[in-house]
Structure 1
Amino acid sequence: MGRARKVIDMQIGNISKQKKMNRKIQEEKIKIDRDALMAGAPSWLSERAAAEYNRVVREAAAIDMLDNLDMAVLAIYADNYDRYLDAAEYLRENGQTYEGKFGPSMSPYVKIAESASNQIMKCSTKLGLATTDRLKLIVPEKESKEVNKFLKYV
C-alpha cells in the first residue's frame, strides 16, 4: 500500500487538469448535508462536552470536513473528552493512588482517564481531527495505468 492520498486542494505535485477535475468530483460525491451537525451539540452532553463538540464543528466547518453522519462519533469524542478532563482533575488533586484496606491502591480514575483517552484517539482518527488523519480519509480511486503507446511497434 502506497502513501495516503491527499485532498485535491492540498495536492502540490504535477497532476493533469482532467485528473484534478475527476478527483474534485469524487470528493464532492462523498459530501452529505451538515444541517443537523450545525444545529448544536446533543442535549445529553454535559456543558463542557457540548462546548468541545461545538468547537470541533466550528473548526471543521472552515474546510467543510464533517457532516451529519459524523454526529454520533463526534458526540462520543466530546463525551470522552469531558470524562478525561474530570478524571485528570481528580488525579491532579488526589494523586494516582489511595490508601485502601490492604495498603496503597491504584485510583480507579487512572483507568477512567486511560479508557477515555483511548476513545478520544479512536474517534479523532475517524473524524480526521489531526492533519495526518484527514489525509487518510479520502478513498483513493483506482487509476488505470497508461498503455505504452510504443508496444504496437514491438
Structure 2
Amino acid sequence: MARARKPLTQQRGDLTEKKKAELEIQEKAIIIGRDDLAKPPEWLVDHTAKEEFKRVVKELSRIELVGNLDMAMIGAYANAYSGYVRASRNMKGKNMIVTRTGKGGITKAKNPLISIQEDYAREMRVFANLCGISIDSRLKAAEAKNAQIEDEIEEKFGDI
C-alpha cells in the first residue's frame, strides 16, 4: 500500500522551483470551502454540543485545518463531548461504587455512569484524531508550519 503524500510544507527533499510550483497548484486545487461550518448542524444533540462545535471550528479555522468535509467528524466529536459532560455532571456527588440488592444478596459494582464517561471519552479521542484536534494532530500541524517557516527563511537568506 502506498504512503499518503505529504503536504508541500512537510516535504524535506530538494525540490526544484518548478516542482514546488506544481505541488502548490495541486494543493490549491484540493482546498475545499468552509461555508457549511458557519453554523452547527441541526442534528447535534444539545446546546453543549453546538457550542463545542463552534469552538472547535473557530480554533481549527485559525490554523486552516478544517473544511466542509470535516463537518460530520466535528459534529460527532461535539456530540460525544456533550455526552461526556452530561455523564460527568450526573456523576457529581455520586459514589464510584454502587450497591445492588438481588437474589444473590448485596453486590458492589462500578457506577454505570463511569462506563458511560469512558465510552464518550473513547469516542472523543477517535473523532479528535479524525478531525485534527488531537494533540498528535496539532503537533504534526505545528511541525509542518515550522518546516514551512524554515524553508521560507532558507529561501530568503540561504544557509546562515
Normalised to the residue count of structure 2, the TM-score between the two structures is 0.69
Match of 1:119 among 115, 118, 123: 123
Query: Which residue of structure 2 aligns with residue 80 of structure 1?
Result: 80
Q: Does 1:130 align with 2:129?
A: no
- Return closer, same or farther for 1:132/1:18 CA change in 2, 3 Å cut-off: farther
Query: Which residue of structure 2 aligns with residue 89 of structure 1?
Result: 89
Query: Which residue of structure 2 aligns with residue 43 of structure 1?
Result: 42
Higher relative helix content:
2
Q: What's the C-alpha RMSD, in Å, of the aligned pairs? A: 2.8
Q: Distance in 2 between matches of 1:97 and 1:29?
A: 55
How far does the alpha carbon of each residue in 1:44-97 deviate from its partner, in whole angstroms, 9 at most, with x for none?
A: 321111111001111111222211121111111000001111222333421322
Q: Distance in 2 between matches of 1:128 and 1:19?
A: 28
Count of aligned pairs between the two proteins: 135
Query: Which residue of structure 1 aligns with residue 52 of structure 2?
Result: 52
Q: Does 1:104 align with 2:103?
A: no
> Gaps (5+ residues) in structure 2?
145-160
Superposed structure 1 runs of 4+ greater than 3 Å apart = 3-16
Asked whether the 8 Å contact 2:73–2:127 carries over to 1, the reply is: yes
Q: Distance in 2 between matches of 1:44 and 1:95?
A: 33
